[in-house]
Amino acid sequence: MLQLAAVISYVIGQRNPSYRPSLVQKNSLGSASPPFAGSDLVLSPSQWSSHVVGKISSWIDLDSEDETVRLDSETTLRQELAWASHLSLQACLLPAPKGTSCANYARCVNQILQDLSNMQLWLRISLVVPDDDSMDANSATLVSKYARNMPSTLPSASSLGRWFGESVRAAIVNTDSFLTNGRGYPCLSKRHQMLITRFFNHNIQIIISANSGTPKASVDANDFHNRSVADSQRHPLRLYLDYVGHLYQKMDPLPEQERFELGYRDYLQSPLQPLMDNLEARTYETFEKDAMKYIQYQRAVSKAMLDMIPDEEASTKTIVLMVVGAGRGPLVRASLQASEETGRKLKVYAVEKNPNAVVTLHALVKLEGWEDIVTIVSSDMRYWNAPEKADILVSELLGSFGDNELSPECLDGAQRFLKPEGISIPSSLPGKMKDLRNPFSKATLLSLCSDSMNMHDSGMYTSFIQPVTASKLYNDVKAHKDVSHFETAYVVKIHNAARLAPCQSVFTFTHPKSVDSESPVDSESNQRYKKLHFTIPNDTGSAMVHGFAGYFDAVLYKDVHLGIEPSTATPNMFSWFSIFFPLRTPIYLKPGSTLEVWYEWCVTSPSESPIHNSNGRSYWVGL
Residue 564, judged by CB atoms within 10 A of its CB (0-12, 13-18, 19+), counts as buried
Dist CA 7 CA 207 (whole Å): 8
What are the backbone dihedrals phi and psi of residue 596, each rounded to the nearest 5 degrees, phi first? -115, 135
294 annotated ligand-binding residue: yes
What is the rounded CA–CA span in Å between residue 434 and residue 286? Answer: 29
Question: Residue 61: phi, psi to the nearest 5?
Answer: -135, 95
Q: Which of 80, 166, 396, 600 is an active site residue?
A: 396
Query: DSSP per residue over 154-190, as a string?
Result: ---HHHHHGGGGS-EEEEEEEGGG-EE-TTS-EE--H
- CA distances, 75 to each of 9, 39, 47, 72, 108 (Å): 22, 20, 27, 5, 10
Q: Report d(CA 282, CA 356) in Å as an integer.
A: 12
Q: Is 266 one of the annotated binding-site residues? A: no
* pLDDT score of 508 more than 60: yes
Q: Would you say residue 218 has pLDDT above 60?
A: no
**Which of 6-15, 85-94, 438-447, 454-463 reaches the highest mean pLDDT?**
85-94
Contact indicator for 436, 614 with CB cutoff of 8 Å:
no
* Predicted local distance difference test score (pLDDT) of residue 140: 37
Beta-carbon contacts of residue 18 (< 8 Å; ≥ 6 apart): none
Q: What is the pLDDT of residues 34-73, one digit of tens each?
A: 555 667 888 888 998 888 888 898 899 999 999 999 999 9
Q: Is the pTM of this model over 0.85?
A: no
- What is the per-residue pLDDT across 511-547, written as a single tens digit (0 to 9) for each? 666 654 444 444 456 676 677 777 788 888 888 999 9
3-state secondary structure of 599: strand
Residue type, 49: S
**In this predicted structure, which of 41-55, 414-428, 588-602 has the lowest mean pLDDT?**
588-602
What is the average per-residue pLDDT within 461-471?
Answer: 89
Is residue 493 within 8 A of residue 449, CB to CB? The reply is no
Q: What is the mean pLDDT of the chain?
A: 78
- Three-state SS annotation for 191-242: HHHHHHHHHHHCCCEEEEECCCCCCCEEECCCCHHHCCHHHHHHCCCHHHHH
What average pLDDT does this structure show over 563-585?
Answer: 90
Sheet with 595-599: list strands edge to edge: 444-448, 595-599, 602-605
**Confidence class of residue 32 from pLDDT cuts 50, 70 and 90?**
low
Rounded distance between C-alpha atoms, residue 92 and residue 85, angstroms: 9
Residue 441: name the closest of 403, 397, 498, 390 by CA: 403
Q: Would you say residue 10 has pLDDT above 90?
A: no
Instruction: Provide the pLDDT for residue 136.
Output: 40
Give the pLDDT confidence score for residue 138 in this predicted structure. 40
Identify the residue with better confidence: 408 or 182.
182
Q: How far, in Å, CA of 432 to CA of 434, rounded?
A: 6
Sign of CA dihedral 266, 272, 278, 281: positive
**pLDDT for the residue numbered 452:** 30
Give the pLDDT of residue 604.
62
pLDDT 10s digits, 121-157:
998 888 765 544 444 434 334 334 656 677 778 888 8
Instruction: Judge whether residue 189 has pLDDT over 90.
Output: yes
**364-407 pLDDT, tens per residue?**
999 999 999 999 999 988 788 889 999 999 988 877 877 666 66
pLDDT of the residue at 25:
59
The residue-averaged pLDDT of 573-597 equals 85
Residues near 143 by beta carbon (within 8 Å), at least 6 away in sequence = 94, 109, 113, 121, 122, 123
Query: Is the per-residue pLDDT at 109 higher than 60?
Result: yes
What does the pLDDT read at residue 619?
62
Exactly one of 405, 565, 596, 600 is catalytic; which is it? 405
Angle at 621 between CA 615 and CA 623, to 5 degrees: 110
Angle between helix 355-368 and helix 330-342 axes, rounded to 10 deg: 30
Give me the residues paired with residue 554 across strands: 562
Work out the average pLDDT over 15-43.
Answer: 64
- β 504-510/462-469 pair status: antiparallel
Flag whether 340 is marked binding.
no
Q: Residue 81 pLDDT more than 80?
A: yes
* Pick from 335, 347, 333: nearest CA to 304: 335
Q: Show the 3-state SS of 48-100.
A: HHHHEEEECCCCCCCCCCCHHHHHHHHHHHHHHHHHHHHCCCCEEEECCCCCC
At 269-304, the pLDDT tens digits run: 887 776 667 778 888 888 888 899 999 999 999 999
Per DSSP, helices labelled H in 309-422 are 330-342, 355-368, 407-414
Nearest to 547 by CA among 617, 614, 477: 477
Is 352 annotated in some ligand binding site? yes
Above 90 in pLDDT, residue 267?
Answer: yes
**Amino acid 602: pLDDT:** 65
> Which pLDDT belongs to residue 445?
31
What local confidence, expressed as pLDDT, does residue 364 receive? 95
Output the pLDDT for position 420: 84
Beta-bridged to residue 218, according to DSSP, are 5, 207
pLDDT at position 593: 75
- pLDDT 10s digits, 472-501: 999 999 999 998 899 888 999 999 999 998
Please indicate whether residue 396 is annotated as part of the active site. yes
Indicate the range of 301-315, 355-369, 417-431, 485-499 predicted with least confidence.
Answer: 417-431
Sketch the domain layout of the chain as residue ranges.
8-252, 275-396, 431-623
Sheet containing 52-55: order of strands: 8-11, 52-55, 91-94, 120-123
Determine the Cα–Cα distance for residues 568 and 562; give it in Å rounded to an integer: 9
The answer to whether the annotation marks 381 as part of a ligand binding site is yes
Contact criterion met (CB below 8 Å) for 364 and 390: no
pLDDT at 615 (0 to 100): 62
- Residues 437-446 pLDDT 10s: 333 333 333 3
State the pLDDT at residue 192.
93
CATH topology of domain 275-396: Rossmann fold (3.40.50)
Tell me the CATH number for domain 8-252.
Answer: 3.20.20.150
The kind and range of the H/E element at 510 are: strand 504-510
> Which architecture characterizes domain 431-623 according to CATH?
Distorted Sandwich (2.70)
Please report the pLDDT score of residue 539 as a whole number.
85
Query: What does residue 31 show for φ and ψ, rounded to 5 degrees?
Result: -110, 150
Q: Is 405 a catalytic residue?
A: yes
pLDDT at 518: 46
Average pLDDT over residues 209-215: 64
pLDDT value for 260: 81
Q: Which residue has the higher pLDDT, 588 or 27?
A: 588
Q: How far apart are CA 55 and CA 557, in angstroms?
A: 60
pLDDT at 520: 40
- Report the C-alpha gap between 166 and 547 in whole angstroms: 13
Closest by CA position to 399, among listed 563, 571, 622: 563
The residues near 148 (Cβ < 8 Å, ≥ 6 apart) are 124, 125, 126, 127, 163, 168, 170, 171, 172
pLDDT of residue 123: 87
Tell me the three state secondary structure of residue 252.
Answer: coil
- Whether 185 contacts 239, CB under 8 Å: yes
CB 547 within 8 A of CB 446: no
155-183: average pLDDT: 89
Compute the average pLDDT of residues 108-131. Answer: 82
Residue 621 and residue 438 in contact, taking contact as beta carbons nearer than 8 Å: yes
CA gap 474, 271 in Å, rounded: 17
Residue from 507, 493, 510, 508 nearest 566 by CA: 493
